[in-house]
Amino acid sequence: MENGISIYPGLDNTLEENLTLIQKARELGLKRLFTSLHIPETDAEALKRDLGTLLHAAHDAGLEIISDISPETMRLLGIKEFKISAFRMLGITTLRLDYGFGLEEIAHMSRHPHGVRLQLNASTITGHILSALVELKTDFSAIDALHNFYPRVGTGLSEEALVRKNVMLHKLGIRVGAFVPSQQGRKRSPLRDGLPTLEDHRDEPTDLAARHLVALGTDYVILSDSLPTDEEMASLGQLSGDRVTISARLLGKDEALPRFLAQTFTARLDEARDAIRAQESRTIMKEMGLTLPPENTAARPVGAVTLDNEGYGRYMGELQIIKEAQGPDPRTNVVAMIDEDELGLLQYITPGRKFSFRFHS
């Protein structure tokens, strides 16, 4: 996944803090940098003074540079006439077309990108807009999309709205990103209430919010606040986009279990009523040459991760995540428990969906 950070020249951070943030992002596996160049509270002189240095540093770090642009942006940067080449010369590699651009103009730019990608506002997209862009022969291979973030409490998107927009864009092959706020770092001014895309994420841990977005089919995630922590950036750098990743507490003492449970599993297509069943776990256990004796054959609450032991014969190695509480069975070991605040992610492990675990003691 090509996840990223945000910087706001002339707003909260010093130039040195932003340069350090860019370097840390590269070291922690992040690939993108988002910046907005039309925030009213920005110190315009500081922005003009620092922007070139920051864009150069981001380019040297190999980051894709995404910038919101509008007619106000052009005035601020002293660009008299809109030309993609002017932004490319600044080092901006993706233009997010937020305000002031007509559909014919967007379609034309997509066919003549001059080395710069275009980005739609995923939060405001409609079926009518996309149909019009299709009619105008837009080259969607030059386009991706990014949702808004919402500084004011109570104004973020619902999960349903985000999924609806994502599905529309995905039908045209357009990859979609969204924002998560920092909870441990410096929140962006002036409100400092976080900058989530989903309102549900305003006070949610960054790592969990990001994994939730991936579970909803979002293709990349960007940290929106001014100065996130190294831990928050690292969690995005380690994010896997092809699966639902769930945090759990390991219970089993068998030394081979962590290696087995570190695999990526797939939910069976024939969905069980009471559990999520991994379709390949028995085969993996056999290939690893493992034997599973009975251990911790306790009751199985919702969120228990279980493995059938040797008492189940050919079912040995069957991995399940329990959706409906069940009593103990001497043939089934309880090997882990999903963290309580992660149980909501189980609903996204639908038939055929890949999933994996991150364990802690």
More confident residue, 240 or 165: 165
How far apart are the C-alpha atoms of 67 and 73, rounded to whole Å?
10
Q: Are 290 and 263 in contact (CB under 8 A)?
A: no
CA atoms within 13 A on the CB side of 98: 20
Supply the mean pLDDT for the chain: 94
pLDDT at 100 over 80: no
How far apart are the C-alpha atoms of 317 and 293, rounded to whole Å?
11
CA distances from 267 to 111, 211, 276, 331, 347 (A): 41, 18, 6, 21, 12
pLDDT at 6 over 90: yes
pLDDT-derived band at 120, boundaries 50, 70, 90:
very high
Token reading at 146: 């990014």
Q: What is the pLDDT of residue 255?
A: 81
More confident residue, 292 or 98: 292
Token reading at 302: 């919702």
Instruction: Give which of 113, 104, 99 is closest to 143, Cα–Cα.
Output: 113
Q: What is the pLDDT of residue 69?
A: 82
Q: What is the pLDDT of residue 154?
A: 98
pLDDT-derived band at 280, boundaries 50, 70, 90:
very high
- C-beta atoms surrounding 192 within 10 Å: 13
Q: What is the pLDDT of residue 208?
A: 97
pLDDT at 252 over 90: no
pLDDT > 90 in the chain, percent: 83
**Residues whose CB falls within 8 Å of the CB of residue 42, separated by 6 or more in sequence, listed in order:** 8, 9, 10, 11
Q: In what order do the strands lie in the sheet with 265-266?
A: 265-266, 354-360, 244-250, 332-338, 304-308, 319-322, 275-277
pLDDT > 70 in the chain, percent: 99
What domains sit in the chain, N to C, each tagged with a CATH number? 4-241 (3.20.20.70), 246-360 (2.40.100.10)
Query: Tokens 């380019």 correspond to what residue?
Result: 59
Q: What is the pLDDT of residue 328?
A: 98
- C-beta atoms surrounding 276 within 10 Å: 22
pTM flag (> 0.85): yes
Summarize pLDDT for 65-95 with one digit per residue, the tens: 999 887 777 777 777 778 888 888 889 999 9
Token reading at 241: 């986009």
pLDDT at 320 over 90: yes
